[in-house]
Amino acid sequence: VAASLRKRFGQRVRELRNALGESQEAFADRCGFARTYMSRIERGGANPSLDAIETLATGLKVDVEALFVNAPTTTSRKAASKRSDG
Instruction: For the CB of residue 38, give the shortest distance to its own copies in the complex, in Å.
Output: 14
Query: What burial class does residue 62 get, using C-beta atoms within 10 Å of its C-beta: 0-12 exposed, 13-18 middle, 19+ buried?
Result: buried
Is 72:14 a contact under the CB 8 Å cutoff? no
Give residues 2-61 in contact with its own copies (rule: CB under 8 A).
2, 5-6, 9, 47-51, 53-55, 58
Q: Report the alpha-carbon distance of residue 21 to residue 44 in Å, rounded.
A: 21
Q: How far is the CB of 46 from its own copies (least distance, A)?
A: 8
The count of residues interacting with its own copies (CB under 8 A) is 19
82 touching its own copies, by CB under 8 A: no
